[in-house]
Amino acid sequence: MIATLRLPQQLRLELPLRQDASGRFLPWVIALIVYLSVSGGLALIWLSDALHGWDAAVGGALTLQVPADTSTARLEMTLGALKQTKGVVDARLLDTAETAKLIQPWLGNSFPLDSLPLPRLVDVQVDPDVAIDFATLRRQLASIVPNAQLDNNTAAPSDVPRFAGRVEWTIAIGIVAVTALLVAIIVFAARIGLAIHRSLIELLHLLGAADEYIARQFQIHALWLGLRGAIIGGIAAAVTAMILEPAAGRLALPVPAVSSGILDWRLWLLLCVALVIAGGVAMVTARVTVLRQLARLP
We find the least distance from the C-beta atom of residue 214 to other proteins, in angstroms, to be 9
Taking CB under 8 A as the criterion, the residue among 28, 54, 134, 213 binding other proteins is 213
Give residues with Cβ within 8 angstroms of 277, minimum separation 6: 179, 230
Stretch that binds other proteins, among 51-59, 196-204, 229-237, 251-259 (CB under 8 A): 196-204
Regarding 11 and contact with other proteins (CB under 8 A), the answer is no
We find the least distance from the C-beta atom of residue 193 to other proteins, in angstroms, to be 14
| Residue 65, strand partner residues | 121, 149
Site mask for other proteins (CB under 8 A), range 12-41, x = bound: x-x-x--x----------------------
Site mask for other proteins (CB under 8 A), range 268-297, x = bound: ---------------------------x--
* Alpha carbon distance 132, 63 (integer Å): 14
Q: Which lies closer to other proteins via its Cβ, residue 12 or residue 162?
A: 12
Taking CB under 8 A as the criterion, the residue among 187, 211, 261, 284 binding other proteins is 211
Taking CB under 8 A as the criterion, the residue among 210, 239, 243, 263 binding other proteins is 210
Query: Cα-flanking dihedrals φ and ψ of residue 123, to 5°?
Result: -85, 115
Q: Which lies closer to other proteins via its Cβ, residue 37 or residue 293?
A: 293
* Alpha carbon distance 152, 60 (integer Å): 9
DSSP assignments along 135-189, one per residue: HHHHHHHHHHSTT-EEEETTTGGGHHHHHHHHHHHHHHHHHHHHHHHHHHHHHHH
Question: Using CB atoms within 10 A of its CB, is residue 13 exposed (0-12), middle (13-18) or buried (19+)?
Answer: middle
Query: In which element (H, E) is residue 90 found?
Result: strand 88-93
Regarding 206 and contact with other proteins (CB under 8 A), the answer is yes
Q: What residues line the site for other proteins (CB under 8 A)?
A: 12, 14, 16, 19, 199-200, 202-211, 213, 295, 298
